[in-house]
């Protein structure tokens, strides 16, 4: 019991330490980059006295340690500042853009996890066969093809030539602002409103960008699943199970695959965290109004409050998902308790 409480205390203590480190890094990066946040507020043609007055009002004339303490105090009180680009608070912008990324990333990781695990197990159980070679080539393509190339090809083929899928954007023009935003997830909001034409339109708009993200994610998941399964299938307990006459299906799924779940949880959760931070190229190509596009546009407009605030949120997502993965370890593997 003491060991368990100690482990939970260590995990809980690591969260604020990690977030503090992230705050330090984001603050000093924001001060080192060759972007003047004052000019982003007043414009590069503002008179010198206006620039200086704005610098004093923003507290940028103070020493770095004083600025950092003020920055840290604002974070602890939930104040991420106001976006120069949108004139909204950064929290309001994140609440508006993040649901689109969450919907896209969740759809992609579900497809990637199901197909990636299946392909990885198939390749491992048929090592050296044509199926194994095909899966390995598929995974190599997933790691090699540039995202923007695949995204543009997808739009050219399925939207421009064949007309099977809608173009960029999150929703068709006909259905825009037709569904009352409750959760921010278009598919869920349309389903709650029983607006099934809007629901299917949102699903069709999801297919291409989520499919691109799922392709790259499942290539990584499949490769790692294959490696984990090969290590387990070469273990002595698998040889013993085969000597006892157990069926191949039971050996693969009941014994070998169960032992790969713990490392697979890490792979899937970290992949999901990477998707939730905003797939910048995918969201840009498909004009998807998510967190990645928000970060990119904010950086191009020197909106440092938005950039630093969104970066902190991304870091918090990583910390939370790592904590969830750690808790799942304890549930799936008694040896870690």
- The pLDDT profile of the chain, 337 residues, written as one tens digit per residue, is 555 555 656 666 677 787 788 788 877 777 766 666 676 666 667 777 777 777 777 676 777 788 788 888 888 887 888 887 777 888 888 888 899 999 999 999 999 999 999 999 898 888 888 988 998 998 888 888 888 888 889 888 888 898 888 888 888 887 777 778 888 888 888 888 888 888 999 899 999 999 999 998 999 999 999 999 888 888 877 778 788 777 777 878 877 888 888 888 888 988 888 888 767 788 888 888 888 888 888 877 777 788 888 888 888 888 888 778 777 777 766 555 5
Q: State residue 8's pLDDT score.
A: 59
Residues in a beta bridge with 82: 89
DSSP class of residue 253 equals: I
∠54-56-62 over CA atoms, to 5°?
Answer: 140
Cα 126 to Cα 4: distance, rounded to the nearest angstrom:
41
Cα-to-chain-centroid distance, residue 70: 29
Cα 325 to Cα 300: distance, rounded to the nearest angstrom:
34
Angle between helix axes 64-76 and 2-32 (nearest 10 degrees) is: 130
Specify the residue for token string 């190339």: 149
Q: Where are the alpha helices (DSSP H) in the chain?
A: 2-32, 37-42, 48-57, 64-76, 90-125, 130-144, 147-154, 186-192, 196-233, 236-243, 248-250, 257-276, 280-285, 291-300, 304-332
Q: What are the residue ranges spanned by the domains of the chain?
A: 2-76, 90-336
Q: Where are the alpha helices (DSSP H) in 33-175?
A: 37-42, 48-57, 64-76, 90-125, 130-144, 147-154
Cα-to-chain-centroid distance, residue 330: 24
Of 255, 276, 266, 283, which Cα lies nearest the Cα of 221? 266
Cα 259 to Cα 114: distance, rounded to the nearest angstrom:
17
Q: Find out if CATH 1.10.3720.10 is the number for domain 90-336.
A: yes
pTM of the model: 0.83
∠115-121-123 over CA atoms, to 5°?
Answer: 100
Cα 274 to Cα 162: distance, rounded to the nearest angstrom:
31
Cα-to-chain-centroid distance, residue 168: 20
């Amino acid at each position: 019991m003491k060991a368990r409480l100690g482990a939970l205390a260590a995990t809980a203590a690591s969260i604020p330490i990690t977030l503090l480190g992230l705050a330090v890094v984001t603050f000093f990066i924001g001060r080192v980059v060759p972007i003047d946040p004052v000019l982003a507020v007043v414009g590069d043609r503002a008179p010198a006295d206006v620039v200086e007055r704005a610098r004093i009002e923003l507290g940028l004339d103070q020493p770095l340690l004083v600025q950092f303490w003020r920055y840290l105090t604002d974070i602890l009180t939930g104040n991420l500042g106001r976006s120069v680009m949108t004139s909204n608070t950064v929290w309001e912008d994140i609440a508006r853009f993040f649901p689109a990324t969450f919907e896209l990333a969740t759809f992609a990781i579900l497809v990637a996890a199901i197909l990636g695990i299946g392909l990885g197990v198939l390749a491992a159980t048929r090592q050296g066969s044509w199926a194994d070679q095909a899966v390995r080539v598929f995974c190599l393509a997933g790691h090699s093809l540039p995202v923007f190339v695949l995204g543009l090809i997808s739009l050219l083929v399925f939207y421009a030539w064949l007309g099977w899928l809608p173009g960029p954007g999150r929703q068709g023009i006909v259905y825009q602002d037709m569904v009352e935003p409750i959760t921010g997830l278009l598919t869920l909001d349309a389903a709650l409103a029983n607006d099934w034409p809007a629901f299917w339109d949102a699903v069709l708009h999801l297919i291409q960008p989520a499919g691109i993200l799922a392709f790259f994610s499942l290539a990584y998941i499949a490769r790692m699943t294959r490696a984990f399964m090969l290590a387990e299938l070469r273990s002595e307990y698998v040889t013993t199970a085969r000597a006892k006459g157990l069926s191949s299906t039971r050996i693969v799924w009941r014994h070998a695959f169960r032992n790969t779940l713990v490392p697979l949880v890490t792979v899937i959760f970290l992949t999901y965290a990477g998707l939730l931070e905003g797939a910048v190229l995918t969201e840009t190509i498909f004009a998807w109004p998510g967190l990645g596009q928000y970060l990119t546009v904010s950086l191009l407009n020197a909106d440092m409050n938005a950039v630093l605030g969104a970066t902190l949120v991304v870091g918090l997502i990583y910390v939370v998902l790592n904590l969830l993965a750690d808790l799942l370890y304890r549930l799936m593997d008694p040896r870690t308790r």
